[in-house]
Amino acid sequence: MACYAALLHQPPASPSPCTSGRVGSCRVRPPPLLQRRAPPLSVRARISPRCSYAAAGESAGAGAGEQPAAALRRVLGTPGAHQAPACYDALSARLVERAGFRACFTSGFSISAARLGLPDVGLMSYGEMIDQGRLITEAVSIPVIGDADNGYGNCMNVKRTVKGFIKAGFAGIILEDQVSPKACGHTQGRKVVSREEAIMHIKAAVDARKESGSDIVIVARTDSRQALSLDEALWRARAFADAGADVLFIDALASREEMMVFCAVSPGVPKMANMLEGGGKTPILSPLELEEIGYKIIAYPLSLIGVSMRAMEDALVAIKGGRIPPPSSLPSFEEIKDTLGFNRYYEEEKRYVASPAQSSFGSGNYDCTSEASSSGDTKSRTEKSQEPIIDILPQLYDPGSAGGRGPSGGMWSRTLRLKITGRDGVQKIDARIPAGFLEGMTKVIPGLAGTNIMERLRNAPMDSDNPQNGQILLDFEDGRGDRIQVFIA
């Protein structure tokens, strides 16, 4: 970050090979300055909402109201080297959080594999990464560090990328110095941009952060170790720290000794390790070993996508052989539902269950009747039609209002009797309804669709000033063949 440039400035110089004295300085802890002062609430960036259906108590991430970047800085400010597996979609991110990790990365390699089924050779676009990233950050509450490749262009593209990642809810962003098209740093043929352009990209990212009122953590990555030399990679790492980067990352370091030399650069600025599983160029070390060397955060880019690929292949072999995957490799249906949040969803859904009076009409189906019934009732459907009529809604209008055909006068303030008999002769509804309510019923009862029942009532021959109880106002068949009758109650 920018404050380190003033406090910990070291002029760029060609570093010498690792010595025992320099290795001893690798374990410098990040100072309290890592906890950047959060911008005022009025200028904080809009953050994507978090999903609320994860199992209760499974998150070790951001607290209530805490911004993602603040949560990540809090993690980086605590002792130890923090493991952060790389996810590639919302489900894998949910599993990382469920396992108790305090942060996670997105892997461009894995996202390219899962989303496109293609290699990580620069085919993923800015829009695709933002779209995938937003789904990931919305699925979890732990901070997510996003892989932004090389920023997708020049410095102006870098600024747009940083602002887009902030809006998508990322806590951190990784920016590298490869030329386009970029590719995995452990593959052949890596090339990097010039020193000057690489530094300007980091400065542009810092400016974009300031302009957004955000505190997103900027992880500056260089691929120059394989493209050029270790000395060049160390020079760039130091220059990135001076330009305002919060975390430094040299990809594809080839030995423990190189890792020690790297951790001696810009003491106090956290270092990121990349444990590329399955045969990358960097030695695979334990979290304790990496902490001893001086690393603060550890990425595991291929574990989740790799085991997923192998598990799917094994499952397909089993299915093709007429079997299903064994219980040891296949969670139960209940376990799957619990992981996805079905139970929490069902609990929340109960808060919005409609009352019987609401559901009888709001459901759009009027096959349920409003007659009174009791347990053990043995009357036939035909006999039910003779039961007393009941009010299903309170009186909505003043019966003593003045006459006229307005909705609050004369007969229109009266309660009407609505009777609906199915074409099979079975009575569906026999209830007292306020006259004004009938107009709304034409929108919720499918059989009345297209029937302007209020217009029919207005044109019905009657004495509005002296309505007679029992007088029939309407008697017709609706679009489904049901008989609709309206009486003065």
105-163 residue pLDDT tens = 999 999 999 999 999 888 999 999 999 999 999 999 999 999 999 999 999 999 999 99
Q: Which domain holds residue 425?
A: 413-488
- Provide the Cα torsion 127, 133, 135, 136; round to 10°: 170
The last residue of one of the domains, among 260, 290, 311, is: 311
Q: What is the DSSP code string of 154-209? A: SHHHHHHHHHHHHHTT-SEEEE--BPSSP--TTSS---B--HHHHHHHHHHHHHHH
Radius of gyration of the chain (CA): 34
pLDDT at 480: 74
Question: For residues 124 and 288, what is the distance between their CA atoms, to the nearest angstrom?
Answer: 34
Question: Consecutive 10-residue runs of the chain (489 residues): their mean pLDDT?
Answer: 39 40 39 47 44 52 80 97 98 97 96 94 93 97 97 97 98 95 66 96 98 97 95 98 98 96 96 92 96 98 96 95 90 92 92 67 44 45 45 42 45 73 83 70 54 64 62 77 80
Residue 321 domain-assigned? no
pLDDT at 410: 53
pLDDT at 416: 79
Burial class (CB in 10 A: 0-12, 13-18, 19+), 283: middle
103 and 238 together in one domain: yes
Q: Cβ atoms within 10 A of the Cβ of 443, count?
A: 11
302 and 420 together in one domain: no
Residue 163 domain-assigned? yes
Q: Model confidence over 192-227: pLDDT tens digits?
A: 999 999 999 999 999 999 999 999 999 999 999 999
285 and 428 together in one domain: no
306 and 441 together in one domain: no
Question: For residues 340 and 95, what is the distance between their CA atoms, to the nearest angstrom?
Answer: 9
Count of the separate structural domains present in the chain: 2
Residue 390 domain-assigned? no
Residue 42 domain-assigned? no
Q: Are strands 483-488 and 472-477 parallel, antiparallel or unpaired?
A: antiparallel
pLDDT at 426: 84
Instruction: Report residue 385 as tokens.
Output: 């039609």
CA nearest neighbour of 152 among 120, 184, 127, 116: 127
Q: Are strands 297-300 and 272-274 parallel, antiparallel or unpaired?
A: parallel
121 and 255 together in one domain: yes
Residue 95 domain-assigned? yes
Angle between helices 195-212 and 155-167 (to 10 degrees): 40
pLDDT at 113: 95
Question: For residues 94 and 393, what is the distance between their CA atoms, to the nearest angstrom?
Answer: 47
Whether this model's pTM surpasses 0.85:
no
Residue 460 domain-assigned? yes
419 and 286 together in one domain: no
208 and 88 together in one domain: yes
423 and 303 together in one domain: no
Question: For residues 230 and 219, what is the distance between their CA atoms, to the nearest angstrom?
Answer: 19
pLDDT at 444: 53
Residue 320 domain-assigned? no
Chain Cα centroid distance, residue 458: 52
pLDDT at 255: 96
304 and 419 together in one domain: no
The last residue of one of the domains, among 290, 311, 332, is: 311
CATH classification of the domain holding 307: 3.20.20.60
Residue 335 domain-assigned? no
The last residue of one of the domains, among 294, 311, 328, is: 311
pLDDT at 468: 65
